[in-house]
Amino acid sequence: MLRPEVSSILPSVAAASPALGEARSQGPRYNFGLQETPQSRSSAQASVSTPGTSGAAGDRSSSTSLPRHPPRARPAPGLYFGNKKSNAENTFASNFTFATSSSSARDNNYPQILKTPLSAGNPQRSGYKSWTPQMGYSATSSSAVSTHSPSVIVAVVEGRGLARGEIGMASIDLKSPQIILSQFADNTTYAKVITKLKILSPLEIIMSNTACVVGNSTKLFTLITENFKNVNFTTVQRKYFNETKGLEYIEQLCVTEFSTVLMEVQSKYYCLAAVAALLKYVEFIQNSVYAPKSLKICFQGSEQTAMIDSSSAQNLELLINNQDCRNNHTLFGVLNYTKTPGGSRRLRSNILEPLVDIETINMRLDCVHELLQDEELFFGLQSVISRFLDTEQLLSVLVQIPKQDTVNAAESKITNLIYLKHTLELVDPLKIALRNCSTPLLRAYCGSLEDERFGIILEKIKTIINDDARYMKGCLNMRTQKCYAVRSNINEFLDIARRTYTEIVDDIAGMISQLAEKYSLPLRTSFSSARGFFIQMTTDCTALPNNQLPSEFIKISKVKSSYTFTSADLIKMNERCQESLREIYHMTYMIVCKLLSEIYEHIHCLYKLSDTVSMLDMLLSFAHACTLSDYVRPEFTDTLAIKQGWHPILEKISVEKPIANNTYITEGSNFLIITGPNMSGKSTYLKQIALCQIMAQIGSYVPAEYSSFRIAEQIFTRISTDDDIETNSSTFMKEMKEIAYILHNANNKSLILIDELGRGTNTEEGIGICYAVCEYLLSLKAFTLFATHFLELCHIEVLYPNVENMHFEVQHVKNTSRNKEEILYTYKLCKGLTEEKNYGLKAAEVSSLPPSIVLDAKEITTQITRQILQNQRSTPEMERQRAVYHLATRLVQTARNSQLDPDSLRMYLSNLKKKYETDFSRAEEVSGKTEE
């Protein structure tokens, strides 16, 4: 079975050598795996790495000196289930001679299970070095997303020479038997690579050893290591990045239903090279292989989803709250009412990578609408979906063939076969819940459940597995289910072993009852996976003789008035119980392996089931969120229009409903400059727009009375989070890096949100930088919202007709108790420049500054403002051009998107004409005054 974490091998390696453990704690975080070919692995393990070693190991020999591992001692007889044969070669369990724990039995050909060997995922790794994560690292610190612990391994390779910048990526989630391939061209900032890796949140990253030669590492390698300081890195020899081998892997492992991926990737040499290294590495370190035709392999182009960089995801609090990483005050927390781990993972990935295909989005919205209209469908689906287990992880375990047959491998296979039976038995109830649905997507999901292979697999399982075997909570309950999973009379030796196990368990219960009578104590039998059977008692210590337990009891622990302990006899009986259990697991495992080999050819239908369940779970979650708030279905046009929209996360936090505001951005008016005092709501408003855009593009309803969105291919944010004057220098550098990233990657389909740019430097430089950035973004035709304190920037509206000035209104109220004027924040967005000017001076008035200084500051500010306004006067020609421009853009927009009836359209056009005539006549009046 694949391990949940690749890095779990590290403690055992470090423990084997104190010097190695010390070197690891002080050295860098990189691995050197696959430095020898598999054929020479055993000989390589016996050798010691030297500075002259060729390949990647030799490249890094100067940084740390790590000895190769000594050969692993051969296991004692009976340590494994049997010879290392494939499942097809294992004979049926009834052909085995029944084994006992006697010494004579060990001489038989029947393999013994005395204990679990070293972890199947812990093979000797010759020439191995590692970058290990920093202590306390969690890829998702938020408890709301704690189920998304790192489990993804990614291989990354870059072209060389003229192909530099062409990136190939392959990733596999250890919890899901799916490989995702990507190949794309990136620029020198490698923004796409970093963003994709941030979304994957990898446990380990694999790269070629030639990319990280000391003193000559590639820029890609340097950037990745800088951005992922808490991730394991592994380097393998370049020869393992072999596109021919990668294509062979895909042909061998890809399930038939997804075989079209071969046509997509045949000429994508870099992603093929990446998948070759990835699969070779997984086989090498996990000590397991995937069954033929068992993996879902798909190619994802970068154009299929919107790009949200990691900085924007953090600014917008999509997954993790910036104030308290443990709470769920995030967009994920707002929408997450999923019932399954698969649904939760799908929601998370959709939030980080929203869709850009309008047809797919509308199909999802149709489903949410039907779920909201049909309560029977909603509650029926929710009831069935909540009973599903983690189907993706179940599949991941089922399609792996361990190279070593251990107790853990056996137990895992048996457990997952019971889970599979449980899952397949839910297919019919899910079909019944969907039978009356009307939307195309729900009907398609219902149709996918008609696959006859579900029934074939379930029938094959039921011929071997008891009807009563099912998933149950509690480790003892599941142990019992696994022991009696296989039907009686299939293997007589298994039946005998189970009777033996039952007798031992009964003997344990009887012994504890006798002890209770002997000492007149309220003893009861308890069980845990770590301790096995033990004794538990709840009583006051004063009720004990001499306030002590009898000396027969050992390993005593006490929590409040509850005692747990055991006895020497109970320890021996636990050992007998474990021995009997290993024999049961072994024989059951042989039967299960034969059963699995028969159903592998039909198991592909489970991939569609997994997709269906996770998608339905996410859509139900969207519908659930709508029932708790007044969300509205979004439309998709070439206009961003939100009527009375509010911040979804703020609504979750606040007792009262947040203040709602309107938003209107079109191609003819695509640049909003937003001004207002501190704390007036500018940053919150910017985040609100981005969150609503993301919600719309993942197929969710949005918090507004009406909403229309233009599809955003990229969402960029530059939002200020640091007001500390002492860190202005570093803040300014961070601003410049973030704005440079936006300028390099934005296009005319981007949504750009910029807050307080230039605040980290002096006013003149800040205004200059803002002007230059604004003019560049205006040339892109992207939808841009630019919040600023620099009122000088509002003059841009005079120069560019597609610029609109907006401001957040504040009111001045008299505080009668303190006899002072105070500012009341309305959080309402209004057109035009802010009338609230010099709010810094008003803050100075209520401070302890001398009145004479405040008066001088006011006078100087008035003179400067007068000079600026004289330079910002608009000319009549500018006003005429503005009127013509606005009329033309409104007419184009009406022609593209209007759904008005003829009378309403006629009225709208009439009003549009009147507004144009008014604006034009105003320009003529200005012209006349100028001539006078």
| Main-chain dihedrals φ then ψ at residue 553, nearest 5 degrees | -90, 135
CB 124 within 8 A of CB 45: yes
What's the residue count for the chain? Answer: 932
- Correct CATH for 635-837 of 3.40.50.300, 3.90.550.10, 3.90.226.10, 2.30.110.10: 3.40.50.300
| Main-chain dihedrals φ then ψ at residue 45, nearest 5 degrees | -65, -30
CATH, domain range 336-485+603-627: 1.10.1420.10
Per domain, the residue ranges of the chain are 1-72+118-304, 336-485+603-627, 492-599, 635-837, 877-931
Q: What is the DSSP letter of 140?
A: -
Q: Three-state DSSP class for 876? A: helix
- Judge whether 492-599 and 635-837 match in fold: no
CB 367 within 8 A of CB 620: no
Q: Three-state DSSP class for 847? A: coil
Q: For residue 887, give the H/E element and its range.
A: helix 876-897
Superfamily for domain range 1-72+118-304? MutS, connector domain (3.30.420.110)
Distance between CA atoms of 99 and 93, rounded to whole angstroms? 12
Q: Residue 440 half-sphere exposure, CB side, CA atoms within 13 Å?
A: 7
Q: Which residue has the tokens 């990189």?
A: 30
**Residue 532, CA distances (Å) to 479, 505, 529, 575, 891 in order:** 11, 11, 6, 9, 77
Distance between CA atoms of 730 and 845, rounded to whole angstroms? 31
- Residue 423: count of CB within 10 angstroms of its CB: 25
Tokens at 583, concatenated: 């024999």
Residue-by-residue DSSP string for 80-118:
SSSSS--GGGSPPGGGSPPP-SSTTGGGSSSPP--S--S
Tokens at 410, concatenated: 């056996």
Q: What is the DSSP letter of 134?
A: P
Q: Three-state DSSP class for 543? A: helix
CB 689 within 8 A of CB 785: yes
Burial of 134: CB neighbours in 10 Å, binned 0-12, 13-18, 19+:
exposed
CB 328 within 8 A of CB 142: yes
H, E, C per residue of 271-306: HHHHHHHHHHHHHHHHCEEECCCCEEEEECCCCCEC
| Rounded-to-10 torsion of CA 643, 644, 645, 651 | -160
Tokens at 801, concatenated: 């007709």
User: Which among 930, 834, 833 is positioned nearest to 879, based on CA atoms?
Assistant: 930
CB 330 within 8 A of CB 379: no
The pLDDT tens digits of the residues spanning 678-725 come to 888 899 999 999 999 999 999 999 999 999 999 999 999 988 655 444
Burial of 118: CB neighbours in 10 Å, binned 0-12, 13-18, 19+:
middle
Q: Residue 326 half-sphere exposure, CB side, CA atoms within 13 Å?
A: 0
- CA dihedral (224, 229, 230, 233) positive or negative: positive
Q: Three-state DSSP class for 357? A: coil
CB 535 within 8 A of CB 513: no
Q: Classify domain 492-599 at the CATH class level.
A: mainly alpha
Predicted local distance difference test score (pLDDT) of residue 283: 85
**Residue 160, CA distances (Å) to 31, 188, 208 in order:** 23, 14, 12
Predicted local distance difference test score (pLDDT) of residue 924: 64
- Residue 738: count of CB within 10 angstroms of its CB: 20
User: Which among 626, 508, 654 is positioned nearest to 567, based on CA atoms?
Assistant: 508
Bridging pattern class, strands 640-645 and 706-709:
antiparallel
CB 769 within 8 A of CB 758: yes
Spell 95-112 as b/e; 16+ CB within 10 A means b. ebeebbeeeeeeeeebbb
CB 2 within 8 A of CB 99: no
Q: How far apart are the first and last CA of the chain?
A: 89
User: Which among 248, 317, 252 is positioned nearest to 291, based on CA atoms?
Assistant: 252
CB 117 within 8 A of CB 79: yes
Predicted local distance difference test score (pLDDT) of residue 377: 95
CB 515 within 8 A of CB 535: yes
Residues in the chain with pLDDT values less than 50: 1-33, 35-147, 723-729, 932
| Main-chain dihedrals φ then ψ at residue 678, nearest 5 degrees | -60, 145
**Could you tell me the strand order of the sheet in which 671-675 lies?**
307-308, 714-718, 750-755, 783-787, 671-675, 803-815, 820-831
CA 45 to chain centre: 37
Contacts of 688 (CB under 8 A, 6+ apart): 645, 646, 647, 648, 650, 661
At 296, the amino acid letter reads K
